[in-house]
Chains A and B, each alone.
Chain A
Amino acid sequence: MTEHEPQTSLLDAQGVSKKFGAVVALRDASLTIQKGQIVALMGANGAGKSTFVKVLTGALRPDTGHVRIKGEERRVGSPAEARRSGLLPVYQEPSLIPDLSVADNLRLADTPVDDFRHWVAELGIEGLRLDDMIGALPLATLRILDLARALAAKPDVLLLDEMTAALPTDLVDKVLRTVRAQADKGQSVIYISHRFAEIAQICDRATVLRDGETVGDLPIAPGVEEQVVELMLGTVLDKAPTRDAATGHGGKGEAHVRVRHLAAGSKLEDVSLDLHRGEVLGVVALEGQGQDELFEALAGMIKPTAGQIAIDDVPVSFSHPADAIAAGLTYVPGDRADGLLMSRSVHENIALPQLARISKWGAIRMKAEADKVAAAIDRLQIDTRAMGEVQRLSGGNQQKVTIGRWIAAGVDTLLLFDPTRGIDVRTKRQIYLLVRELAAQGASVLYYTSELAEVPAACDRAVVIFNGKVVDVIEAADADEPTLMRAAYGLTRAEGEPA
């Protein structure tokens, strides 16, 4: 870009830096966006993307840096000021207040209600009532409400921080379409995601951050993915390891966990499935088809209303998660806010399950514990620069802690609900490898994912749930995205037969 460039950019940030104590979150971050553009902000977990968004929208004050909005030098001192300048964020963590109703939350931010409703409907959420309490809504809905609220304020620049990470395919699709349509109407969007397919679908350019520094800015074109990944990681990522067919036990022999005609909550109606030892069984479903209830029932969080669960042919019933854990079923919840001790250290979070039982209330064997924790941190490449309090970790690193906990504890049956939410490419591969490895050692894994491309990468088979029932079982090897997508929309085989 030359100095005489006629078009001034809508937003131009240069040389932004931000430290938290000893942690350098941003070193030298820059970003420019023109009217009507969608710019992807990319970077590994902990690269500083969320911090950058918070700085740009006045939630954090930078240590250094210039921000120009429509060519004018500005200091964005507070979120309200950012809003007046036309900058609206959707942060990585849901930001509506849980103890208030939807309507009260809208009132707090002066959001026009009619516009809000319009966007909620447009984005595919049905049956939302304005007097619903935020705390009672599922995570995916909250994300959509955050977006609808931002859109209703008619921003010039929309900053979306991992908006789609917790969303199932159908909603992702709607979000992408809406965002692209808005950009075509002249709105600008800064878009953060770890899913390259989404970036390729809607973005014009990608700005890449590495260790808090902008290391590249390139147009999105076919084949750019490798380049971006290389910039992000600073090294070339090896080819995705091809699945070793031999590790798949593919549902042979006796079932380890047998579920029959399970019903729970209002959504889960009739699910039967067999989970074998050494198997990774995927679960594929659109938003709200009963998958949440399935996992919660298996984890002892809610009581099934009908049906049976048997482990090694012994019927079980859980009245508390501790019962499920005693039976070998461990649960990684989809919403990490439900899984983490935010004000405690990474160490204490990872060690927690090992202290749960009364017999472990006594003295802790510190050395053994430290070793286990270190192994989990190492295995998942958790960024430990801010490990004193989990809430200071980046989103992806928090997610790793929820998984790391059960690796340290050792698992028999692992219930993973969207475990790679917000995790970068490299660590995703680590997690697939880890899951495969656990399976190879004889563990069983039930793996719900909102990202269909994960099914062939991590699973042996996948059950498809639609309307609270299993409608299909697919061999992971045959599971390309279109097939899975059709199945998820309930467009295949007859219902009812056990997986």
Chain B
Amino acid sequence: MTAETQVREPLTLKRVGRFVADNPLIPLVVLLLLLVGVLEFMRPGIVNERWIGNTIKFAIPLAMLAACQTMTMLTGGIDLSAAVAATISAFVMATQVPIVGVPLAICIGLLPAILMGLVNGFGVAVCRVHPLIMTLGTGLIATGCLQVYQRFVIASGSVVPDGLAWLGTGRTWGLPNSLLLFVPMAVLIIWAQRRTGFGRLLYALGSNETASRISGVRPWQVFLALYALSGLIAGVTGLLYVGLIKAPSLSLVNPLLLPSVAAAVIGGTSIFGGRGGYGGTILGALILTVLGTLLTLLQMPEGARRILFGLIILTVTTIYIRLTEQSR
């Protein structure tokens, strides 16, 4: 018996695998369209301009927070403090508005997020603490600080500036205004990850830190800049999100943390570093958002819904990784 007979049958699968490996974003687009199709099938007429606008509006903060995860994951790290950083920015900003006015409040609000990023960067880069532990730690500490801070500002109340509400919830010609912030940011990140030295170094460090060092890279510089940048993006996300939700709280953005990690992973970024990119993450965020709507429509108890959500994510990720992995 020759081996010929036994290869015939997996050949088409192999072809698909190769195509997918060369164009990793295509199956994500297909999956997204498929989910939208299912949704339309379940509730004919639900998919309209309004629904699309809404989906995008809610996917954007998730995609922005997932940018923090994507960039840190490219180096083999993660930023579990991103959601807390976003919450702090939003809360501090909203409580400072009555005291110092909008522009200054925005600046003050971003400061703690950047500071958290710098501390993360210092811990990861200089003290060589594992990013998972480091960012978990700063996240916890920052949450505590936020609670203390709240006691001092409890009297002055909070205001969400009109500008942010406009950006977060408003629409122009049917499209959410938050695209004005998001599109330039996404374009910048996607461009930077391929075409700037900094972006390339993220991949290089995630792929092989020793090799990067031998080539003259000083990893601490990259890590410090990376986590500070991640803090800044998280802060901006918080400001946008409070514009969308319009009610600052002590756990405002926290529910987005694990979905932000999931969005990056579904989008094809490896948690071990060196592979992936922001394009996939954006699709991942859209997929998660549509999936959320879909599950809300199925009238199921909350628990069952979460179980299904988790199962779907696991299945999708497993299949996707199988497909994109170079076939043996």
Contacts and interface: CB of A to CB of B under 8 A. Distances in A.
B214 A64 contact: no
Contacts of A331: 214
B195 A344 contact: no
Contacts of B195: 363-364, 366
A61 B201 CA distance: 35
Contact of B3 (A65, A341, A344, A360): A65
B196 interface: yes
A348 B204 contact: yes
Interface stretch (B140-148, B205-213, B285-293): B205-213
A358 B219 CA distance: 11
A192 to B, nearest CB: 21
Contacts of A21: 18, 21-22, 326-327
B7 interface: yes
Contact of A344 (B18, B207, B210): B207
B198 interface: yes
Contacts of B215: 321, 325, 352-353, 356, 405
Contacts of B3: 61-66, 75
A233 interface: no
Contact of A339 (B21, B22, B214, B326): B214
A361 B197 contact: yes
Contacts of B200: 348, 351-352, 355, 364
Interface string A1-35: 00000000000000000001110000000000000
B214 A299 contact: yes
B221 interface: yes
Given A321-B216, A341-B207, A361-B201, A63 B7 contact: yes
Interface in B116-155: none
Contacts of B221: 358
A362 B328 contact: no
B328 A322 contact: no
A38 B54 CA distance: 71
Contacts of B201: 355-356, 361
**For the side of the interface on A, what is the size category?**
35 or more
Contacts of A73: 1
B274 interface: yes
Contact of B203 (A60, A325, A348): A348
Given A64-B2, A320-B218, A322-B217, A355 B197 contact: yes
Given A21-B21, A344-B203, A301 B214 contact: yes
Interface centre among B1, B197, B326 (most CB of A within 10 A): B197
A398 to B, nearest CB: 12
A301 B274 CA distance: 23
Nearest to B272: A343
Nearest to B1: A73
Contact of A364 (B197, B214, B327): B197
Nearest to A358: B221
A339 B213 CA distance: 9
A362 B197 contact: yes
Contacts of B274: 341, 343-344
Contacts of B328: 60-61
Interface string B25-55: 0000000000000000000000000000000
A114 B200 CA distance: 48
Contacts of A342: 207-208
Contacts of A405: 215
B275 interface: yes
Contacts of B9: none
Contacts of B2: 64-66
A61 B4 CA distance: 11
A320 B214 contact: no
A352 B222 CA distance: 14
Interface string A380-420: 00000000010010000000000001000000000000000
A340 interface: yes
Interface in A279-337: 299, 301, 320-322, 325-326, 331, 333, 337
A352 B212 contact: yes
Contact of B211 (A62, A341, A362): A341
A129 interface: no
A63 B7 CA distance: 6
Contacts of A75: 1, 3
Contacts of A20: 326-327
B12 to A, nearest CB: 14
Contacts of B21: 21
Contacts of B225: 361
A358 B274 CA distance: 20
Contacts of A322: 213, 216-218
A238 interface: no
Nearest to B218: A322
B217 A356 contact: yes
B126 to A, nearest CB: 13
Contacts of B217: 322, 352, 355-356
A321 B203 contact: no
A357 interface: yes
B257 to A, nearest CB: 27
B190 to A, nearest CB: 14
Contacts of B210: 338
B213 A320 contact: yes
B202 to A, nearest CB: 11
A328 B87 CA distance: 48
A174 B283 CA distance: 57
A358 B211 CA distance: 17
B7 A64 contact: yes
Contacts of A338: 208, 210-211, 214
Contact of A360 (B197, B204, B211, B218): B197
A73 B327 CA distance: 26
A352 B207 CA distance: 12
Nearest to A326: B216
A429 B327 CA distance: 35
Contacts of B214: 299, 301, 321, 331, 333, 338-339
Given A75-B3, A355-B217, 17 more contacts: A20-B327, A63-B3, A63-B7, A64-B7, A65-B2, A320-B218, A322-B213, A341-B203, A341-B207, A355-B204, A356-B212, A356-B218, A358-B221, A361-B198, A362-B196, A366-B195, A389-B326
Pairs of residues from A and B, 7 with the lowest C-beta to C-beta distance, nearest first: A356-B216, A355-B197, A341-B207, A325-B216, A361-B198, A343-B274, A361-B197
30 contacts: A20-B326, A61-B328, A63-B3, A63-B7, A64-B3, A65-B3, A66-B2, A66-B3, A75-B3, A321-B215, A322-B218, A325-B216, A326-B216, A339-B211, A341-B207, A341-B208, A341-B274, A342-B207, A351-B200, A352-B200, A352-B204, A352-B212, A355-B201, A355-B217, A356-B216, A360-B197, A364-B195, A366-B195, A389-B326, A405-B215
